[in-house]
Amino acid sequence: MNKMKPSISHCLTLGYFLMFFYCGCTSVKFLESDCHPHTWDKLILVHHWPVTVCKMIMNDCDDPPQYWTIHGLWPDKGEDCNRTWHFNVNEIEDLLPDMRQYWPDILHSSLNRTRFWKHEWEKHGTCAATIEPLNSQKKYFGKALDLYHKVDLNSYLLKVGIKPGHTYYQMSAIKEALTSFYGVTPKIQCIPPEEDEDVQTIGQIEFCFTKELELRNCTHSKTNFFLMQNNLQFRHEELSICNDTLTSYPLEV
């Protein structure tokens, strides 16, 4: 029986190791992947169609932009990873002209314009900041803008003749066009058809990136569920993965 018990020296050694490991993990601003409770695998650059946003939740939503804008840059797991790292608009002062144009708060344009960005940083940015290219507020918002311009979704859709208006599109054709051009499969979300109708409304398109910020396929998994619950308070039963059916791409609310 005594042979099965670890020696006192062994226990002490193990204890010192665990103490060192714990202190080492907590001594840095962000923990490494082995000891961080909010590890993530991919980044999701989320575009939303402002007209559909306004259609979903009528609020202070006058004259929405008629081009795809940024909803957010989200790690696929974790949120609010560092509650002490608060948003400071002064750190992104030189980005503000682009932020206002490409990352506007669609629903609250007449209120505090920084509230949306504050939410995105504190909920998602503090998790994305575990990698060096995104480890400051300026890097996080600046890189999101860079990726948005790299994808250039608005220009590509126009190039292939997919334009907002009264024309309906087959979702399968939109998916095929995007996959063919970008070489990866994005995730496209719609408002499902209303009762007695057979036309869904496109609302959101997500492009996924590796930690090296290279495009990769988006996959649908349970870990993405929390991403549907975010700052715009979309009701997840209203915005879901699009079906391969007729799709509206509205020009007006």
Q: Which of 47, 48, 122, 124 is catalytic?
A: 124
- Strand, coil or helix: 211: coil
First to last CA, the chain: 77
Task: In whole angstroms, give the CA distance from residue 43 to residue 40.
Answer: 8
Q: Using one digit for the tens of pLDDT, what is the confidence trace for 147-178?
A: 999 999 999 999 999 999 999 999 999 999 99
124 noted as active-site residue = yes
Q: Which of 47, 48, 120, 206 is catalytic?
A: 120
Mean pLDDT of 197-225: 85
Architecture of domain 39-248: Alpha-Beta Complex (3.90)
Name which residue leads in pLDDT, 207 or 106: 207
The DSSP symbol for 124 reads I
pLDDT above 90: residue 25: no
pLDDT at residue 133 in the model: 97
Structure tokens at 182: 């970008």
The full DSSP string for 78-96 is -----TTS---GGGGGGGH
Q: Helical H runs in the chain?
A: 8-26, 50-56, 96-102, 115-120, 126-128, 137-151, 153-159, 171-182
Task: In whole angstroms, give the CA distance from residue 172 to residue 180.
Answer: 12
Comparing CA positions, the residue from 32, 36, 64, 26 lying closest to residue 48 is 64
Tokens 């979903």 locate to 56
Q: Which of 47, 48, 71, 206 is catalytic?
A: 71
Q: Phi/psi at 206 (nearest 5 deg)? A: -115, 135
pLDDT at residue 227 in the model: 47
Name which residue leads in pLDDT, 13 or 136: 136
The DSSP symbol for 107 reads S
120 noted as active-site residue = yes
pLDDT band at 224 (very low <50, low <70, confident <90, very high): very low
Q: Which amino acid is at 75?
A: P
User: Domain locations in the chain?
Assistant: 39-248
pLDDT above 50: residue 104: yes
- In DSSP terms, 105 is beta-bridged to none
